[in-house]
Amino acid sequence: MGIAVIYLCVLMGMIWPLQSQADIFKYVDPSGRVYFTDKKKNKYYKRVVKTRKYNYSKSRRSSWKLLKQRRKKVEPIVARVADKHQLDPKLLHAIIRAESAYDPLAVSHAGAVGLMQLMPATARRFGVTNRRDPAQSIEGGARYLKTLLKQFRSKDLAIAAYNAGEGAVQKYGNRIPPYKETRTYVKRVLQNYRNE
């Protein structure tokens, strides 16, 4: 039973994400006991699992490159929609980046979908029938954002309402709600906006 559990642990180690960066060595002592370790203690330890080194800087470069590729695909839509609704295209880009990293298939744990992460009720409210369609998502999100900017007359509050809902901002006296997620979101969007 003990050996079976050890082998199970080894198998789990094999499928563990590669960024764990730990080789696994096995040693069988003269009495038949099996030992596993991530450090080779002597010549009798044989490597049974080899993991490749995870290159974090390369991963970040790949992510950045993918983000730029996705953004390039939707830039004409953002420009057109921003012009149509007299919105700052930099603000639309800042929200899209924070919401979905320009992934039109993104789905949040709460059920928001698409580039601008529209919830079903928000999508219906602004005439979006396919939340995964980039043009529809940006159009619906832009219309929602314009409504929020008009209602709250503040970029910060509109961004907070985009994340937490209009009711949450109103509930706290037209202030950014004291939700950690919302406050972090507002900072992220404003940072994205400044970097545009």
Nearest residue to 160 (alpha-carbon basis) of 190, 140, 119, 138: 190
CB atoms within 10 A of CB 117: 24
Q: Which residues are catalytic?
A: 99
What are the C-alpha distances in Å from 75 to residues 15, 61, 135, 154, 192? 39, 21, 11, 25, 15
HSE-up of 193 (CA within 13 Å, CB side)? 15
- One-letter amino acid for residue 144 of the chain: Y
